[in-house]
Amino acid sequence: MQNNLQLALDFRLIRRMTLRTFFLTTTFSALGLTIALGQATAAPARALVCFGSYSTPDKESVHLFQLNLKDGSLKKLSAVDGLKNPSFLKIHPNGKFLYTVNEVATFDGKRSGGVTAFALDVQAGKLTQLNQQPSGDTGPCHLTVDATGKFVLVAHYGGGSTSVLPIKKDGSVGAVVSQIKHKGSSVHSRQKAPHAHSIHVGPNNKFAFAPDLGIDKVLVFSFDEKTGAIAETKFDGAKLEPGSGPRHFGFHPDGKFAYVINEIKQTVTAFRYRAKRGRLKTLQTVSTVPHSVEGNSTAEVLVHPSGKFLYGSNRGHNSIAMFRINEKNGKLTALGHESTRGSTPRNFGIDPTGHFLLAANQQTDNVAVFRIDQDNGKLKFTGNEIKLSKPVCVRMILQD
């Protein structure tokens, strides 16, 4: 009886609502739903950009900027000093830490380079130094973090070796736990000894890949994600044409293909990747320049997040070489070149959404921003650029 009475009262209340009240109520409800749906599907609007550089301790050396993902503009957030040559950076998979090499021959009184660990506040765009450790050899030029986030792997150009340092729960780094000295030489005057130029961990986290400019090989090491131990494999990696000078390396998003850029020969080599055994099978080698350019050398190579395009930088020609990737066989087709609006693009980065490429021009102290055409992969200068002293590394992470 009481329930029936309540229903009658509710019905009378509804009848007394004016037409205007009804429409206001339903309109605001619909608007709220629209906003909620819009927030759920809104494209990222901001990315944090971290720049490494060649610098002395008395100058700012790691710079943090905000990239506007609508127009490609950059706004400075912060910077740190006190470091010598933090020339290469890596953001931890959890986004809470950042690691830099210290590309020197003597560190903390030892014949070694260094690794510096930072806590990273992505939203505020700030770094807090946690600690430093000797890297295990001279001239560290590149580093990465494995998929578990428990180890930093470091490539040493000067000493010709690869080393592994553990990452503690607070993000700080421990002492070297594993190291391999590379062996060999090749035909060019720069290849009288090993020069490890980068280090990368494969998609299944079981193998590490070390392009060595001095011996014309992409060395493949087994990697133990529990202990951090690296070990040589029986097949010794992928051999390249004598005098190639392999430098940087990257995997296609599907994990079936990999690419290395060859600094001396100014080429990119495509591989098919066999993940189970860590094998690389050469598919193709293509030039990064349209014609011979005296003094030119290559530097960075990156695959677009979509897997459709590949980009490589030329120092001397001062351009980004653009390629389309055949997603069935991994082979490359040249798309042309885009000037980097500066000299010596030692490094560049692509934002996680794949819409912008930032080219760091070492000799002209500037970073130029390009929009990436999502259909044809070509670059178009946005008109946005910033001045930075000797920028040589670009790393990005979304802020929202």
Buried b vs exposed e over 209-227: b needs ≥16 C-beta within 10 Å?
bbbbbbbbbbbbbebeeee
Please indicate, yes or no, whether residues 172 and 59 belong to a single structural domain of this protein: yes
Instruction: Say whether pLDDT at 22 is over 90.
Output: no
pLDDT of residue 64 exceeding 60: yes
pLDDT > 70: percent of the chain = 90
- Residues 138, 255, single domain; the answer is yes
Give the mean model confidence (pLDDT) for residues 231-252.
96
Residue 15 CB neighbour total at 10 angstroms: 7
Is 363 in the same domain as 220?
yes
Same domain, 109 and 32: no
Question: For all residues of the chain together, what is the average pLDDT?
Answer: 92
Confidence of residue 41 (pLDDT cuts 50, 70, 90): low
Tokens in use for 193?
């000894």
- In the predicted model, what is the mean pLDDT of residues 374-394? 98
The residue-averaged pLDDT of 230-249 equals 96
Confidence of residue 75 (pLDDT cuts 50, 70, 90): very high
pLDDT of amino acid 235: 87
Residue 35 confidence class, pLDDT cut points 50, 70, 90: very low
Burial status of residue 193 (CB atoms within 10 A of its CB: 0-12, 13-18, 19 or more):
middle
Share of the chain above pLDDT 90, in %: 88
Q: Looking at residue 42, what is its pLDDT?
A: 86
How many domains is the chain partitioned into structurally? Answer: 2
Statement: residue 314 has pLDDT above 90: yes
Q: Residues 101, 27: one domain?
A: no
My answer on whether 23 and 111 are in the same domain is no
132 and 13 share a domain?
A: no
- CB neighbour burial string for 104-122, b if at least 16 within 10 angstroms, e if fewer: beebeeeebbbbbbbbbbb
Identify whether residues 382 and 238 lie together within a single domain: yes
Between CA 234 and CA 167 the distance in angstroms is: 29
364 and 310 together in one domain: yes
CATH classification of the domain holding 127: 2.130.10.10
Shared domain check, 4 and 90: no
Kindly state whether residues 319 and 384 are assigned to the same domain.
Answer: yes
Checking if the pLDDT of 209 tops 60, the result is yes
| Contacts for 227 with CB less than 8 Å, ≥ 6 apart | 177, 178
* CB atoms closer than 10 angstroms to residue 236: 12
Angle at 321 between CA 319 and CA 327, to 5 degrees: 160
Domain housing 9? 1-42
Residue 77 has pLDDT above 70, yes or no: yes
The amino acid at residue 301 is V
Of 39-43, 218-222, 390-394, where does mean pLDDT reach its minimum? 39-43
Q: Are residues 32 and 72 in the same domain?
A: no
- Asked if residues 162 and 182 have their Cβ atoms less than 8 Å apart, the reply is yes
> How far, CA to CA in Å, does 82 sit from each of 52, 62, 136, 170, 331?
13, 10, 21, 21, 44
* Ordered strands of the 97-102 beta sheet: 89-91, 97-102, 114-121, 126-134
